[in-house]
Structure 1
Amino acid sequence: MSEERGSDRQRIDKWLVYARVVKTRTLGQALAASGHVRLNGRKIDDPAQPVRAGDVLTIGLHGGVRVLKVLDFAERRGSFSVASELYEDMTPPPVVEAAPPTVGAGEGRPTKRDRRRFEKLTDPDQN
């Protein structure tokens, strides 16, 4: 799947599109230029920054973070199965929060005290 030129690197904006992290190259350029991409732990702001096999990208997307290890390159944007071969997803699993307490069946309507306890558990900004 490597490029025919025998190149061992590719522009980060192209790689983000070919790996289906973003939909268009313009979005890839904007993402790289905005500083939401780190290459081997170093913040980058240049869409022309080359990535090589073995590099680790940390990408801030939609309120979450993805950690991808570059494995290969492509010449064009392909299907999802082809794109998933370009990287190894090293993103840690999301933290599962404990469910708030519920009122058991037949216990009736919660009291004001129960409501305050519930709000305290679900909204960490409250005291």
Structure 2
Amino acid sequence: MRIDKYLWHTRYFKTRNIASTACKKGQVKINGQVAKPAREIYPTDQIVVRKNQINYQFTVLDIPKNRVGAKLVDIYRKDTTPKEAFENEELLKYSKSYYRKRGTGRPTKKDRREIDGFLGDEEE
């Protein structure tokens, strides 16, 4: 089965087009090698998918005939993603909370001084 089709069948991507685009961008690796969308996969292949700044790692257990329900996905793959990847995502969320919200306009003078002080660009 093609890798883009497999990723869509196992619900890593919402559409097959998004899955093939991710493959073309080099965000999908099979056994350590970047995979094109038409690359065939087989059971026991190690797959790494970079999605939302997380490297999801899993092993192919079986090939599904068609798209499967969310509860049945674990029959066809074994998730080996380390816990640290998800912890890093949480830290990333907290670091983004410091930044200004979108649509709040240009920074005020006070905001600019705080940014300069934070970056160490103060002129004295």
Task: Name the residue aligned to 1:33.
Answer: 24
TM-score, normalised relative to structure 1: 0.65
Q: How far is the alpha carbon of 1:33 from its aligned partner?
A: 1.0
Question: CA RMSD for the aligned pairs?
Answer: 2.2
Between the two proteins, what is the percent identity of the paired residues?
A: 26
**Larger relative contact order (Cα-Cα within 8 Å, sequence gap ≥ 6):** 1
Alignment length (residue pairs): 91
> SS at 2:83's partner residue?
coil
Q: 4+ runs of 1 displaced by more than 3 Å?
A: none
Distance 2:52 2:72 in 1: 23
Task: Name the residue aligned to 2:114.
Answer: none
Please identify which structure carries the higher strand content.
1
Q: Unpaired runs of 5+ in structure 2? A: 89-117
TM-score, normalised relative to structure 2: 0.67
- 2:63 maps to 1:73: yes
Distance 1:80 1:94 in 2: 24
Deviations 1:72-92 (A, max 9, x none): 111211211222211000001
